[in-house]
Chains A and B, each alone.
Chain A
């Protein structure tokens, strides 16, 4: 067991973890932060995506101890009470979420993209989200939502 200190969505946690634990296991099983989903546990689906010190990571293949002293943002950390993040709003409004299981990962991947590239082209959106699988939507409304969110965040309508 080792001591892990990390910040998640602004709150500080200190947990003891086994050396082989993943960040996803710590978030879900230890902290009960459940928006990161277990879709595959092999790094293939992106349902577990979170932002670790500004970088998008798949938390199922990220060793928990890598997050020591760092800051994690999950989907829970995006909205304030009564106020959605523009990406969340766009996903809701444009039907980018059907069953919703891929949605937390998709939104985090979209946020990581827009943080770095506020004005992505369709192609750049596709590329940025290509590690996140969705079986329901055919991605069409997801790509649309990211574009609309970017517009809004850039002060458009």
Chain B
């Protein structure tokens, strides 16, 4: 009896349907303190005064922490747990409280005195890219790739390709900011142990990414931290960043008590990472017979205020900007621009979803311009076995044509024989 290929119900499904699966928030440990955070009301500014003394004195408050309590104040590259001085986005965490219950924690937050010298935020990527624009990050508003402030992947000779083309189509596309919206928000529960070690229950999609980052923040050896997760109420890329864990961990170490922090839905929507907006320009050189001979693509990601997984999204976009087609001459340039917004990071389809959208609308435009059937146009240009992608890789598996044939057949569309007989292992045009 083999199970691979079978409709086996979920291993953890019985727990789900009986309500017995334990998510992070379902752990109730006696004596657990409740955490709440103070978040910035402004998008950009300098902290002039942050006075937590009244909050600390409130009965029921166990600890208040700010930047000075963080042993190493950066994760995911350059994102501080709390900023020392420079506030970079609205909703950025400035301080956090652990108290006996939620009401006390919220009251303590309201007692923190803060003075911020507000500065003019930069929201528009075009503004941020201008020479002389105020710097959001010390090394400039464009993400650096070595010496360059853009990333690129080229194939062939794109100028020659455009010369060869019968016509050129150039268009701009925009992909909006998106929130993952898992039904379970960010939750973290940190439990300190008498020997100085710590167990963190978290909603992470990647325990081993997180443990490295959190150990660095806490300056704690790997073996002193046990990360417990692996039952997560949906992720979609929204739980690849540390979010709540550094705060509960610091508070637990400081108070010696378990500390739990569940983000509100508003925090989840406005303060957790998003898929940043993408602006994409595609220019294709096309021959009248339907072959695309050149593509130039230039894309800009609004990365928000910090690095996070932006470098990865920017490079991955460059690798997959062409789509499942063979275009002999390609130039792809991608940029990540920092603005005073919540950091952009991973989301389902990481960097690729936006260009899949733009490229496929662009393909349709060209097909219409050519007066060619949209299936035929895509199949003519589809990648064949043995052909390289524009990154220079030869994929081990190529089946774009077969997928289109199956789609036509399944949707009741009758394709002409010349299309139904096409194969991924043969190029006719």
Residues of A within 8 A of B (CB): 29, 32, 34-35, 37-42, 44-45, 47, 74-76, 78-79, 84, 88-89, 91-93, 95, 97-104, 107, 133-136
The one of A103, A104, A135 that contacts B182, using a Cβ cutoff of 8 Å: A135
Alpha-carbon separation in the docked complex, A91 to B15 (Å)? 11
- What residues of chain B lie closer than 8 Å to A74, measured between beta carbons? 19
Alpha-carbon separation in the docked complex, A136 to B234 (Å)? 7
The one of A75, A76, A92, A99 that contacts B183, using a Cβ cutoff of 8 Å: A99
| Given known A-B contacts A39-B183, A45-B183, A95-B9, A84 and B265 have beta carbons under 8 A apart | no
In the complex, 8 of the A-B residue pairs with CB atoms within 8 angstroms, ordered by the A residue number, are: A37-B25, A39-B183, A47-B183, A89-B17, A99-B182, A99-B184, A101-B183, A101-B234
Contact A92 B184 (CB under 8 A): no
Residues of B within 8 A of A (CB): 9-10, 12-23, 25-26, 28, 180-185, 232-236, 262, 264-265
| B329 vs chain A, min Cβ distance (A) | 39
Alpha-carbon separation in the docked complex, A40 to B265 (Å)? 5
Contact B17 A101 (CB under 8 A): no
| B274 vs chain A, min Cβ distance (A) | 15
Q: A75-B18, A99-B182 are in contact. List 8 more A-B contacts (CB 8 A).
A: A29-B28, A34-B19, A34-B22, A39-B265, A45-B265, A75-B19, A92-B16, A95-B10
* A76 (CB) vs chain B CBs: closest residue: B19
- What residues of chain B lie closer than 8 Å to A79, measured between beta carbons? 18
- What residues of chain A lie closer than 8 Å to B10, measured between beta carbons? 92, 95, 97-98
Contact A101 B184 (CB under 8 A): yes
| Given known A-B contacts A101-B234, A135-B183, A37 and B18 have beta carbons under 8 A apart | no
Alpha-carbon separation in the docked complex, A34 to B24 (Å)? 11
Most chain B CB atoms below 10 A, which of A41, A92, A99, A107: A99
Contact B232 A41 (CB under 8 A): no
Contact A135 B25 (CB under 8 A): no
* A93 (CB) vs chain B CBs: closest residue: B9
* B269 (CB) vs chain A CBs: closest residue: A40
Most chain B CB atoms below 10 A, which of A29, A32, A34, A91: A34
Alpha-carbon separation in the docked complex, A92 to B13 (Å)? 6
- What residues of chain A lie closer than 8 Å to B16, measured between beta carbons? 91-92, 97, 100, 103
Contact B26 A97 (CB under 8 A): no
| Given known A-B contacts A92-B17, A101-B184, A135 and B236 have beta carbons under 8 A apart | yes
- What residues of chain A lie closer than 8 Å to B20, measured between beta carbons? 35, 76
| A25 vs chain B, min Cβ distance (A) | 9
* A107 (CB) vs chain B CBs: closest residue: B17
| Given known A-B contacts A84-B18, A100-B16, A103-B16, A37 and B9 have beta carbons under 8 A apart | no
| B375 vs chain A, min Cβ distance (A) | 26
Contact A101 B26 (CB under 8 A): no
Contact A37 B233 (CB under 8 A): yes
Alpha-carbon separation in the docked complex, A136 to B183 (Å)? 9
- What residues of chain B lie closer than 8 Å to A45, measured between beta carbons? 183, 265
Contact B12 A100 (CB under 8 A): yes
| B186 vs chain A, min Cβ distance (A) | 12
- What residues of chain A lie closer than 8 Å to B21, measured between beta carbons? 100
Alpha-carbon separation in the docked complex, A100 to B14 (Å)? 10
Alpha-carbon separation in the docked complex, A38 to B24 (Å)? 11
- What residues of chain A lie closer than 8 Å to B184, measured between beta carbons? 37, 39, 99, 101
- What residues of chain B lie closer than 8 Å to A100, measured between beta carbons? 12-13, 15-17, 21, 233
Alpha-carbon separation in the docked complex, A103 to B12 (Å)? 13
Contact A37 B23 (CB under 8 A): yes
Contact B234 A103 (CB under 8 A): no
Contact B28 A135 (CB under 8 A): no
Contact B26 A34 (CB under 8 A): yes
The one of A38, A39, A41, A91 that contacts B17, using a Cβ cutoff of 8 Å: A91
* A75 (CB) vs chain B CBs: closest residue: B19
The one of A47, A104, A135 that contacts B181, using a Cβ cutoff of 8 Å: A135
| A117 vs chain B, min Cβ distance (A) | 21
| B202 vs chain A, min Cβ distance (A) | 15
| Given known A-B contacts A41-B264, A92-B9, A99-B183, A76 and B26 have beta carbons under 8 A apart | no
Contact B12 A41 (CB under 8 A): no
- What residues of chain A lie closer than 8 Å to B180, measured between beta carbons? 135
* B17 (CB) vs chain A CBs: closest residue: A88
| A84 vs chain B, min Cβ distance (A) | 7
* B22 (CB) vs chain A CBs: closest residue: A34
* B236 (CB) vs chain A CBs: closest residue: A135
- What residues of chain A lie closer than 8 Å to B185, measured between beta carbons? 38-39
- What residues of chain B lie closer than 8 Å to A38, measured between beta carbons? 25, 185, 262
- What residues of chain B lie closer than 8 Å to A95, measured between beta carbons? 9-10
Most chain B CB atoms below 10 A, which of A35, A79, A97: A97
The one of B17, B232, B265 that contacts A97, using a Cβ cutoff of 8 Å: B17
Going nearest first, the 6 A-B pairs with the smallest beta carbon separation are A35-B19, A101-B233, A100-B16, A75-B19, A34-B26, A88-B17
- What residues of chain A lie closer than 8 Å to B18, measured between beta carbons? 75-76, 78-79, 84, 88
